[in-house]
Amino acid sequence: MNIKKGDNVMVITGKDKGKTGTVQRVMLDRDRVLVKDINTVQKRTRPARQGQKGQTVTVARSMHASNVMLLCKNCKKPVRVGYRKDGDQKVRYCKQCEATN
Ligand SMILES: [Zn+2]
């Protein structure tokens, strides 16, 4: 899993291909990410009480992390990332421009 919460990612497959968004949640155990306003579905809610109307709400669903790529802050492209050591810290970097992300 190379994606973290708060990352800007581009969707590379599926109906939202080419769209970008911010990662809101990462499900490490399932390799899934939830991206704001991406992979949305319409959900209809039932009226909670009598006299109320059901509503249609748009909710984002999670998708597999392999369906998105990190948008590099430096070269602004969807890129593959690697990890390298920086002192005793492991940092993530862009394989295109080598910038730390
Ligand atoms: Zn880059």
User: Is residue 99 domain-resident?
Assistant: no
User: Is residue 68 domain-resident?
Assistant: yes
Query: What pLDDT score was predicted for residue 51?
Result: 85
Maximal CA-CA distance, the chain = 64
User: From the CA of 3, how far away is ligand 1's center (Å)?
Assistant: 15
User: Is residue 32 domain-resident?
Assistant: yes
Number of separate domains in the chain: 1
User: Is residue 39 domain-resident?
Assistant: yes
Between the alpha carbon of residue 44 and those of residues 1, 2, 58, 70, the distances in Å are 33, 34, 9, 32
Report residue 79's pLDDT band, with 50, 70 and 90 as the boundaries.
very high
User: From the CA of 72, how far away is ligand 1's center (Å)?
Assistant: 5
Query: What pLDDT score was predicted for residue 28?
Result: 95
Give the residue numbers spanning the domain of 45: 8-94
User: From the CA of 2, how far away is ligand 1's center (Å)?
Assistant: 14
User: Is residue 83 domain-resident?
Assistant: yes
User: Is residue 2 domain-resident?
Assistant: no
Instruction: Kindly report the pTM of this predicted structure.
Output: 0.83
Half-sphere exposure of 33 (CA within 13 A, CB side): 25
Let me know if 52 is exposed, middle or buried by CB neighbors in 10 A (0-12, 13-18, 19+). Answer: exposed
Q: Which residues pair with 18 in a beta bridge?
A: none
User: From the CA of 94, how far away is ligand 1's center (Å)?
Assistant: 5
Host H or E run for residue 73? none
- Give the CATH number of the domain where residue 18 resides: 2.30.30.30
pLDDT digits (tens, 9 = 90+) for 44-71: 988 888 888 889 999 999 999 999 999 9
Report residue 8's pLDDT band, with 50, 70 and 90 as the boundaries.
very high
User: From the CA of 42, how far away is ligand 1's center (Å)?
Assistant: 35
Query: What pLDDT score was predicted for residue 32?
Result: 97
User: From the CA of 34, how far away is ligand 1's center (Å)?
Assistant: 23
Mean pLDDT value across the chain: 94
User: Is residue 101 domain-resident?
Assistant: no
User: From the CA of 7, how far away is ligand 1's center (Å)?
Assistant: 14
User: Is residue 1 domain-resident?
Assistant: no
